[in-house]
Amino acid sequence: MASPLSRRLAAIVDALPLRPGLRVLEIGCGPGAALREVARRIGHGHACGIDRSAAAIRQARAALAGELAAGRVSLRQVAIEDFVLAADEAPYDLAFAVRVGALDGRHPRAGRIALQRLRTALVPGGRLYVDGGEPLRVVSLEE
């Protein structure tokens, strides 16, 4: 049985401008709790979770087995500063990150690289949402 979202994660998912059909990238997906809820809300869209931690991806694979089997979710073990779209992978409409050092200011050099990666991973006009607002803030992808 899926564990319920914490109040904080629920507020973050509620703050995202989700709608059916979107392609959403979660950076630092951890065990997949928010990713599951995002996938539910975007219906026939697609949610991809990335995390640098092999343990987190293993937990997410177990927790999201049904969503993975249905093709509504995909997972990749990769840090955002190393992320590139696969050859057959369409860009994402929006990305979000919670407690990701490369995007919350803790690691500025990695953050600059991460923003470069996201510029090519998101559709033109795609948005990046990071925790630290009320509850999220939009991070500019402009150079």
Classify residue 106: in a domain, yes or no: yes
pLDDT digits (tens, 9 = 90+) for 74-108: 999 999 999 999 999 999 999 999 999 999 888 99
**110 part of a folded domain:** yes
CB 92 within 8 A of CB 23: yes
For residue 4, the SS3 value is coil
Q: What is the pLDDT of residue 2?
A: 57
Q: Name the 3-class secondary structure at 2.
A: coil
H-state helical runs in the chain: 7-15, 33-42, 54-63, 65-69, 108-121
Whole-angstrom distance, CA of residue 133 vs CA of residue 139: 10
Name which of 6, 4, 57, 8 is nearest 29 in CA terms: 57
Domain-located, residue 1: no
In a domain, 84, yes or no: yes
CA distance 136 to 103: 12
| Domain-located, residue 34 | yes
Quick: pLDDT tens for 44-79.
999 999 999 999 999 999 999 999 999 999 999 999
Distance CA 140, CA 128 (A): 7
**Alpha carbons 44 and 103: distance in angstroms, whole number:** 28
- 107-142 pLDDT tens trace: 999 999 999 999 999 999 999 999 988 899 999 898
What's the predicted TM-score (pTM) here? 0.95
Within a domain: 2: no
Q: Which domain holds residue 110?
A: 7-139
Q: What are phi and psi of 76, to 5 degrees?
A: -140, 135
The two tokens of residue 3 are: 């564990």
CATH number assigned to the domain comprising residue 91: 3.40.50.150
- Residue 133 has a pLDDT of 82
| Residue 43 φ/ψ region, left for φ over 0, alpha for ψ in the -120 to 50 degree band, beta for the rest | left
How many structural domains does the chain have?
1
Q: What is the pLDDT of residue 118?
A: 97
| pLDDT tens-digit map of 17-37 | 999 999 999 999 999 999 999
